[in-house]
Amino acid sequence: MLPVALCRHAFCCFDVSCFDNWNCTHHHTTRSEGCALIFIDQNPMTTLEQKQALETILFVATKPLSPKQLAEMIGDCETGQVRELVLELNTAYEKTGRVFRIDPVADGLQMHTLPEHKKWAQSLETVKTIKLSPAVMETLAIIAYKQPLTRAGIEFIRGVDSSHTIRRLMQQKLVRIVGREMLPGRPGLYGTTKSFLEVFGLTKLKHLPALSELDMSKLPEKSQLELPLESEEE
């Protein structure tokens, strides 16, 4: 039996003949001059430490991060644990009257200020905004609810030329070409982007409000939308 050097309060002793063929993902072993050195990590992160890490990452993140990405960044955490931590954090935020929540956005998670408090954040002018006219917003609504469809399809619904409004939406990365129609000239099919989901705080398109709930005639002369500081390329 060889002596065993313990690291981080390890307490095991192994015969080297067994040690040579021993495999375990939770132990790291080395051998040196007749001594089997066994490293056993006995200091996993506590739930509090995991919550603190998760909060810190989401606080500084400029775009949604998936539970898998968050688990990898935290290190000592599984994807399922991330969802549990988010639930516990949001419950704590609500109980203590915090003005922010961790929300599912697109295919990830992001920390948001509650809508009733957004005016204070906007007063700092740290949020990039764009102004969309009613015509552009009408075009965006048509694409969001009817996608994928061609420019001709959009213009059939609107009754006017829509090339400018579509171009404006593509410049803001709210709309992109998602395919080609099997017609002469292969016209592009338009659909919304991941940035569209992020801007409107949606996880999936099915979470759009019912079309019957929308009244485009009540739109103000100019409407303002908040866009992420860093738009992701589509």
pLDDT value for 205: 84
How far CA 16 is from CA of 3, 37, 173, in Å, comes to 9, 11, 61
pLDDT value for 42: 55
**What are the two backbone dihedrals, phi and then psi, of residue 13, each rounded to the nearest 5 degrees?**
-135, 130
Residue 154 pLDDT exceeds 90: yes
Strand, coil or helix: 102? strand
| Nearest of 16, 115, 20, 108 to residue 71 by alpha carbon | 108
Residue 30 pLDDT exceeds 60: no
pLDDT value for 128: 62
Q: Which residues contact 4 (CB under 8 A, 6 or more apart)?
A: 10, 12, 13, 14, 35, 36, 37, 38
Strand, coil or helix: 99? coil
User: Within a 10 A sphere around the Cβ of 74, how many other Cβ atoms?
Assistant: 21
| Nearest of 92, 98, 103, 99 to residue 114 by alpha carbon | 99
Give this prediction's pTM: 0.53
Domains present along the chain, CATH in parentheses: 4-40 (no CATH), 47-112 (1.10.10.10), 129-226 (1.10.10.10)
Mean pLDDT value across the chain: 76
